[in-house]
């Protein structure tokens, strides 16, 4: 049986080492009642063009178990999607961000959520101290899936973009792709933790 946490951690270390981030990540461990601890690994700062001063914060622990629908009472312990989430931001780590990432990563176990690309997750509170962002928009990341030993399904690393309530309402109305297109059109840097909310027409 694959040690999922070890496999994911090794995969992340290899990916970021190839990207020029060879140092060991900083680790924040967050615990919840009745749930196994979730670690948040911080890689960076990144030195690649377009990613300078970016730190990548990746959950470790969400993928321990397959994500299942709450109504699936006969869940297979091996079959089902597995995921971790990554938030990439420029500059130092904002106070409270690791906690929010851990809450999101624990949601499949606590609330029965299935984390997939284009999902909008409303955190119902600022994602970090003084943040205007209260939700996460999930999407594909540049990190390839982590292969596990069959019959376990691979682990997907999802990019989680912090968004404002206004942007969340736009996603609900128009969809995730429309929000991303609005960011591109408006020249919004979603890696900037101090960015203003997009005002799509």
pTM of this structure: 0.94
pLDDT per residue as tens digits for the range 137-190? 999 999 999 999 988 999 999 999 999 999 999 999 999 999 999 999 989 999
- Give me the residue spans of the domains in the chain: 4-186
- Alpha-helical segments (H) within 68-193: 97-111, 165-174, 176-186
What average pLDDT score do residues 79-107 get?
95
Instruction: State the Cα–Cα distance between residues 56 and 44, nearest whole angstrom.
Output: 6
SS3 of 183, please?
Answer: helix
| pLDDT tens sequence across 149-163 | 988 999 999 999 999
Q: Please, what is the Cα angle at 142 between 24 and 13, to 5 degrees?
A: 20
What does the alpha-carbon distance between residue 108 and residue 118 come to, in Å, rounded to a whole number?
16
């Amino acid at each position: 049986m694959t040690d999922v946490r070890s496999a994911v951690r090794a995969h992340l270390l290899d990916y970021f080492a190839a990207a020029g981030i060879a140092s060991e990540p900083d680790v924040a461990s967050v615990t919840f009642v009745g749930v196994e601890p979730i670690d948040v690994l911080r890689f960076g700062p990144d030195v690649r063009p377009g990613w300078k001063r970016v730190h990548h914060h990746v959950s470790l622990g969400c993928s321990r178990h397959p994500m299942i629908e709450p109504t699936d009472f006969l869940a297979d312990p091996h079959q089902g999607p597995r995921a971790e989430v990554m938030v990439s931001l420029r500059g130092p780590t904002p106070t409270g961000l690791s906690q929010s990432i851990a809450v999101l990563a624990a949601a499949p176990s606590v609330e029965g959520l299935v984390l997939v690309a284009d999902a909008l997750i409303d955190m119902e509170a600022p994602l970090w101290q003084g943040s205007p962002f209260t939700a996460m928009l999930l999407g594909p990341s540049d990190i390839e899936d982590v292969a596990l030993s069959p019959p376990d399904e691979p682990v997907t690393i999802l990019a989680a973009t912090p968004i404002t309530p206004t942007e969340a309402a736009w996603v609900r109305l128009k969809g995730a792709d429309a929000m991303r297109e609005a960011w591109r059109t408006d020249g919004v840097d979603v890696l900037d933790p101090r960015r203003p909310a997009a005002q799509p027409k």
